[in-house]
Amino acid sequence: MNTEAFYGVLDKELSEIVGKHADDAYISKNKSVPDKQKAFALLIWFLDFYGKKSDYSDYITDGDDDGSCDLIFDNMDNQGRNVFYIVQSKWNILGNCGKEVEKKEILQALADFDAIIKGKKERVNAKLKAKLVELNTHLSQNGDVKFIYLALCRENPKADDNIRNFVNSHRRTRFEFYDINRIKVDYIERHYKKIDPTNPLENHYDPEESKINIEIKRLGTSENCIRIERPFEAYVFLIRPKTVFELFEKFGFSLFFRNVRNPLIKSDFNKEIEDTAIDNPAYFWYYNNGLTAITYMIPEIRGEATLLELTGLQIINGAQTVYSVYKAYKEASPTKREIMNSEAFITLRLLKSGGRDFDLKVTKFTNSQNPISDRDFKANDDVQVMLQNQFYATPFWYEKRRGEFRSIPKGVRIVPNDVFANCYLAYWLGDPVSVVINLLQMEQSKKDLLFVSHKDDKGGLYEKVFGPDARFEDFLTSYCLMEIIVNNSTSEDPFSVNLYQILSLSKVVLEKYLKAKWGADTNVELSVRRMLEKGDTSAILKALKYIDQYLLSIVQPNGDVQSSSSHYSISSAQIQFERVKGELERREIGVQTIDDIELNAENV
């Protein structure tokens, strides 16, 4: 889903909003100016999607004579503090949605925001004037303010220094840029992964850094818990639904940053947990395994204690339970809440962190009741998030965690990150032997070395594949070339089990061919990428046919060259491939060598 395609999806929703609110004074007055209607609809969409505020009339301050400050309102955050939010939006036509917002427009918005804070805002309508009076009172009481620039185009990094200076010059003030790419990522999270994105209309606190209060239930004995002292301090408590609700209300999905699974907004399993919490709260403890959490510091706990202060908290097992209890409690009536809190118990296993390796193993083994792959444990890494977000601009969506997409838009294909990684390792990094060896050993051990650090296993490939030079364009090119190879292979092909080696060799041939054709300074990877984007694959197909012919020409009489890598040790397989590759690199491959190759009808 590229930017233009997502714009079309969002534009359709904006049109529906215009139709739904056709009687609104502003929309009705601008019937002859659809652009103004869409810009107004974008504000309604933003409030509904992020703030879940269906009644927009009290928030939108836009007027005919006001060039800025489209939204201004106050909201109580989860710390009980009142925050004022000021939003300026920039709607765009389809032709401009892929462009960067002009720096001068961001500077103008910052100037408007500065004037608002200093009480120097001119040309304001009555509604905005009243809101600014409220804001001035809020500022005089040392209140927090957050400015949001909402744009249906791309963020412009050239304004970063100006934004930083603006924030530094106004204490207790934050600024957040929501461009079309950020909105697209959040839209995919909500609609296709079925999880709630971070809400810019709320303050967010890091549960790994914060002081967190946990209310524990007394057991009617001299001790309130089970205590484990060695090798790492740990406790088992009972907590109430209210405690779970307050934790999620305050920290949201950031509670599960170290978990291998995110809670689902909707699922049959979650519905059963919700139903038990509401209809049979006394049975909840018997039906549910509870939560496992890690904290950095556990205070000494008295036997009489009912309240603990922890330093940092991550729930590493029980995400579905937390979200289901939160949802059930939130939607319950005051009477139902009281019953839930009096009858429902939830087990909390609280472990003191034993360091990264220990914490990761605890996460792995506490989630082992359901199959968890090695790649699931890397899903929250920055590089995995970065690659996934960038792949959203293509028809191939990068799946960093198994089953994370609950629905798929038309024209999009979900590709697991291990598939991308295998292609990238073979083509871009030129190491198909590691791919083949890893695939073969996975059949026995189930360990995927692509997602294992070399620090944990000498054969680990994670840092090699997902290092600092990893770029999504190179992963995409590698995958698309592999698709062409797979689509043009046959079951009779003796080299079909070694398609990754053919993929790797194609890099050698294409580089020789394209540099011979267009000059030694040719950017080969950019040229290949452009051919793939245009669908002009004839040269690629000819290069692959050349490789087929080359491999056939060096097959030994007994047929064992390249035919079955499982017959070779790692070292011999590597030596053999390097020999084949070295001979190919020494060959002279001119323009006519490839151009004169004739393709079969089925290859064209």
- Percent of the chain predicted with pLDDT > 90: 19
Q: Are 373 and 317 in contact (CB under 8 A)?
A: no
Residue 117 has pLDDT above 70, yes or no: yes
- Asked if 349 and 410 sit in the same domain, the reply is no
Task: Encode pLDDT of 146-161 as tens digits.
Answer: 888 888 999 999 999 9
Range of the domain at 341: 211-372
Is 204 inside any structural domain? no
Domain-located, residue 367: yes
Dihedral sign of CA atoms 511, 514, 516, 522 in order:
negative
CA distance 116 to 120: 6
pLDDT at 96 over 90: no
Domain boundary at 348, 372, 396, which?
Answer: 372
Query: Is the predicted pLDDT of residue 68 greater than 70, yes or no?
Result: no
DSSP states of 374-435 as a string?
Answer: GGGGGTTSHHHHHHHHHHTTSSEEEESSTT--SS--TT-EEEEHHHHHHHHHHHTS--HHHH
Highest mean pLDDT among 61-75, 255-269, 573-587: 573-587
C-beta atoms surrounding 551 within 10 Å: 21
Per the CB < 8 A criterion, the answer to whether 106 and 113 are in contact is no
Band of residue 417 on the pLDDT scale cut at 50, 70, 90: very high
pTM (2 d.p.):
0.74
Cis link prior to 231 (omega < 30° from 0)?
Answer: yes
3-state secondary structure of 293: strand
Which of 61-70, 191-200, 283-292, 361-370 shows the highest mean pLDDT?
283-292
Positive or negative torsion for Cα 320, 321, 323, 324 = positive
Q: What is the pLDDT of residues 423-463, one digit of tens each?
A: 999 999 999 988 888 888 887 777 888 998 888 888 899 99
First-residue to last-residue Cα distance in the chain: 27
pLDDT at 562 over 50: no
Nearest to 509 by CA among 460, 551, 471: 551
How many angstroms separate the CA atoms of 517 and 531, rounded? 14
Count the domains in the chain: 3
Which pLDDT band holds residue 183 (cuts at 50, 70, 90)?
very high
| Residue that is last in its domain, among 344, 372, 400 | 372
Identify whether 385 is part of a domain.
Answer: yes
Are residue 232 and residue 350 in the same domain, yes or no?
yes
- Which are the contacts of 95, defined by CB distance < 8 A and separation ≥ 6? none
Q: What mean pLDDT comes out for the span 466-470?
A: 93
Q: Would residue 245 count as lying in a domain? A: yes
pLDDT at 496: 45
pLDDT at 386: 94
What pLDDT does 143 receive? 86
**Do both 251 and 349 map to the same domain?**
yes
Q: pLDDT at residue 548 above 90?
A: no
Question: What was the pLDDT predicted at 125?
Answer: 73
Q: Percent of the chain at pLDDT above 70? A: 85
Helix axes 524-534, 538-554, angle to 10 degrees: 120
In a domain, 125, yes or no: yes
Is 138 a member of any domain? yes
Asked if residue 326 lies in contact with residue 269, where contact means CB atoms within 8 angstroms, the answer is: no
CB 495 within 8 A of CB 577: no
For residue 571, name the pLDDT band (cuts at 50, 70, 90): very low
165 and 215, same domain (yes or no): no
For the chain, give the number of residues: 604
Task: Give the residue, 319 or 555, on which the prediction is more confident.
Answer: 319
Q: Which domain-ending residue is among 333, 351, 372? A: 372
Verify that 328 and 240 share a domain, yes or no. Answer: yes
CATH code of the domain covering residue 136: 3.40.91
| pLDDT, averaged across the chain | 82
CB count in 10 Å sphere of residue 442? 16
Specify whether 351 is located in the same domain as 394: no
Pair 359, 393 in one domain? no
Whether residue 306 has pLDDT greater than 50 = yes
565 or 517, higher pLDDT: 517
Question: For 68-82, 237-251, 454-468, 555-569, which range has the lowest pLDDT when averaged over its residues?
Answer: 555-569
Q: What is the pLDDT of residue 67?
A: 45
Task: Assess whether pLDDT exceeds 50 at residue 495.
Answer: no
CA distance 92 to 14: 12
Q: How sure is the predictor about 565, in pLDDT bands with cuts at 50, 70 and 90?
A: very low
Reported as a pLDDT band with limits 50, 70 and 90, residue 568 is very low
Give residue 569's pLDDT: 44
Task: Let me know if residue 147 belongs to a domain.
Answer: yes
Residue 31 resides in a domain:
yes
376: pLDDT confidence band, cut at 50, 70 and 90?
confident
Highest average pLDDT, of 124-133, 209-218, 305-314, 530-539, comes from 530-539
> Residue 242: its pLDDT value, please?
93
Spatial separation of the C-alpha atoms in residues 505 and 507, rounded to whole Å: 5
**Is residue 415 domain-shared with residue 561, that is, in the same domain?**
yes
Quick one: 522 and 562 in the same domain?
yes
**Residue 408 · residue 552 · CB < 8 Å:** no
> What's residue 384's pLDDT?
93
Say if residue 267's pLDDT is above 80.
no
Q: Does residue 163 sit in the same domain as residue 43?
A: yes
CA proximity to 252, closest of 135, 330, 364, 184: 330
Q: Tell whether 384 and 366 lie within a shared domain.
A: no
Q: Are residues 151 and 113 in the same domain?
A: yes
Are 425 and 434 a contacting pair, CB within 8 Å?
yes
